[in-house]
Amino acid sequence: MESVKIRELVEKYWEGDTTLEEEEQLRVYFNKEEAPADLKKEAVLFRYYQSHTQFRTLDERFDNTLTQRIERKEAKQRWLTFQPVLRIAAAIVLVVLATVLFKAEWNNPATETSPVAVEDTYEDPRLAYEQTKEALLLVSSLMNEGTQHMVNLENFSEAQETVKTQIP
């Protein structure tokens, strides 16, 4: 008689219509009795569920860790409430600083025609031209030297792509 009831509960279980109490009856039945041959698969399933659904207790470290994380989050949120005030204060400081720094420039311009005074260091324009030309050639050669290393990197990159395409 009990075997018939268990088979009905198993059918009901597979249809998804069992209550928690009925599922508990199935667990108890399959854990303490040898199941009939046609219900062996269900017995294995219910024993597996039973062995892997044991309740675990949490120790004090869990509570302490959780409390610390909550407190850190609350402290972070306190700073976020001051964020608009801090932004306004930073903007005010920037405006005051800009006013102080540029006040001297506005009151005492370097020359009447240009805001920046450039003092000529060469009396001979040709000598100035030659010195400028040498400086620019030096900068150009150094930049060209730096780009030669980039060619090596480009070759390395091409080799790397070739290897990637050949490896499945």
Extents of the domains making up the chain: 2-52, 60-107, 123-168
Is residue 31 a contact partner of residue 50, using CB atoms and an 8 Å limit?
yes
Read off the pLDDT of residues 104-140 as tens digits, 9 standing for 90 and up.
677 765 555 555 555 778 788 899 899 999 999 998 8
d(C-alpha 6, C-alpha 101), whole Å: 89
How high is the pLDDT of residue 168? 61
Is residue 10 a contact partner of residue 39, using CB atoms and an 8 Å limit?
yes
